[in-house]
Amino acid sequence: MTKHNKENERLRQTVLKKTALRKIVESFPKLTVTVLADLVADEFVFGEISRVSREAPVLILRHHDRKVIPGGGANAIYNLADLGVNVLPVGVVGDDEPGRMLLRAFRHKRIPVSGVFKDKSCTTVTKTRILAGFAHTAGQQVVRIDREPVEGPNGHLRREIVLAAREYARASDALLVSDYGYGAATPNLLNVIREKRALDKVPVTLDSRHRLLEFSGVTAATPNESEVEEVLGIRIGNDNDWERLVAAGEQIASAMNLESLLITRGKDGMVVFPRRHKPVDIPIFGSDEVADVTGAGDTVVATFTAALAAGATAEEAAHLANYAGGIVVMKRGTATVSQQELLEALDKTAPLAREH
């Protein structure tokens, strides 16, 4: 094949890939995804630096604004909704202001809330970030305050969660489990939900902060590199050791019997491990000069789940998750990616992979 013919074939393959990815994204509104999640309220308090306190060597901020938006598993739910997917959340909030604001945010996006249970004895997980800056400058985070429940949902709430998740999953194209360690998306709960064949033929994707290997019956998982290092007790290192990364990914995929594994690597992009195929190394989409990585993992798992539910291959789903992750880290605070933004990114940039 001549050089000219090779170039024509390469361009043809690129067009075919982009067309296939576009069709997947365009099919999102036809999908329904149930999300079993630890729901978090992300609070942002913005202040302008006015002076240094005379009481202690600390900055005094003049309060400018406050926002409370969905975070943690609630951010994954929000991302699915903005991608056009019909999303059915299952989780718990407290009977408090952050909980009410989360429910209001869901209703604003027309997300059903009948599977979100309000409990007076529970505290809504709230992560408050204080951002300080001067006039006409972007605020920098100076401290974060976390408010968390003392214990997870009680027995009654766990039963309600199981019943709702079973009912929704049977009518869904996928189940996304977003486990931040607060008790509403545990390995045991997933096992109970799976009883009575409730999850037969329903793909299950997992984003778990600290106990990835404790889950079973999962189709795909999306840990970041540091989470992989934590669960395996290893160090992949900063030297981009490809062989070490591949060995770690294959160990997790084998131990969990996954159909696919997606490891996110920050500025180094992501690597997808499809079952019975070689891993694919995908460079980061967009600039590596990121604005904010808050919630990027939620965007990745939401997009990856939606794509798999639409019938995408693991590699196709990873490319779309990579576009979405690259878009969202250029936004400040906990943010989402819309279906239109994803389509525009596809139009501008072809999917890429690094050779090894």
Contacts of 93 (CB under 8 A, 6+ apart): 39, 99, 100, 102, 103, 116, 117, 118, 119, 122, 124
* 86-94/116-119 β-pairing: parallel
How many CA atoms, within 13 angstroms, populate the side-chain half-sphere of residue 66? 9
Contacts of 58 (CB under 8 A, 6+ apart): 52
Host H or E run for residue 100:
helix 97-108
Choose the catalytic residue: 119, 179, 281, 298. 298
- Give the burial class of 123: count Cβ atoms within 10 A of its Cβ; 0-12 exposed, 13-18 middle, 19 or more buried: middle
Task: Name the token pair of 30.
Answer: 């036809």
Contacts of 74 (CB under 8 A, 6+ apart): 37, 39, 40, 41, 89, 91, 102, 105, 106
Q: Phi/psi class of residue 289: alpha, beta or left (left: φ > 0; alpha: ψ in -120 to 50)?
A: beta
Report how far residue 316's alpha carbon sits from residue 307's, in angstroms, rounded to the nearest whole number.
8
Report how far residue 41's alpha carbon sits from residue 124's, in angstroms, rounded to the nearest whole number.
7
Residue 298 appears among annotated catalytic residues: yes
CB-CB contact of 53 with 60 (8 Å): yes
Q: What are the φ and ψ backbone dihedral angles of 310, each rounded to 5 degrees?
A: -80, 0
Task: Tell me how far CA of residue 298 lies from CA of 302, 303, 341, in angstroms.
Answer: 6, 9, 17
Whether the CA torsion 176, 179, 182, 184 is positive or negative: it is: positive
Residues taking part in catalysis: 298
